Structure 1
């Protein structure tokens, strides 16, 4: 069954062909928003969650409930201004809205 499952432990997206994308919250390293010029009658905003190992999960905006958005906004240094910029974008773009801090205080590569 295709769909997105968001829990306190992980975010998982099952694609129509049965493939599964998943990232654990504790392994989250980066959050991006990708926008496309496909709207307004097709999905055109996607949250991309990338884990420390490089694997990730794409969450369509339509599946991003308030609890999911709240969890993202609670990440230290989350860039809400970039989210607003992404939400009004009508072009094919990527927005980096959060990256995990390294133990030394710098941003992860």
Structure 2
């Protein structure tokens, strides 16, 4: 669920996770090798010290993807590539400009 100010993810287990659009700092896609009979594509949203992993089959995901695709410099090509992968991988589709990478 989302509106103009925030995204609220309600996982099957655990508490709701809320992101304000202004705090969102990264959008990526995780794929697994578990498909095609189970969901193997997950959208990972991060920001404000939190993250959530949302199934591509989650209710309202189509509308959320439209909104995410409006983020400045969202990498639509990377999203297309991710959707065609059947292995365990992660694809960065968007990162807020001006962020400094964290050293490991």
TM-score by length of 2: 0.84
Unaligned stretches of 5+ in structure 1?
A: none
Provide the aligned length of Structure 1 versus Structure 2. Answer: 99
Matched residue, 1:87:
83
**4+ aligned runs moved over 4 Å, structure 1:** none
2:94 to 90, 98, 107: 98
Where do 1:33-52 residues align within 5 Å?
Answer: 33-51=29-47
Unaligned stretches of 5+ in structure 2?
A: none
More contact order relative to length (CA 8 Å, sep ≥ 6): 2
Matched residue, 1:68:
64
CA separation of 1:16 and 1:59: change in aligned 2, threshold 3 A: closer
TM-score by length of 1: 0.80
Deviation at 1:10, TM superposition (A): 1.9
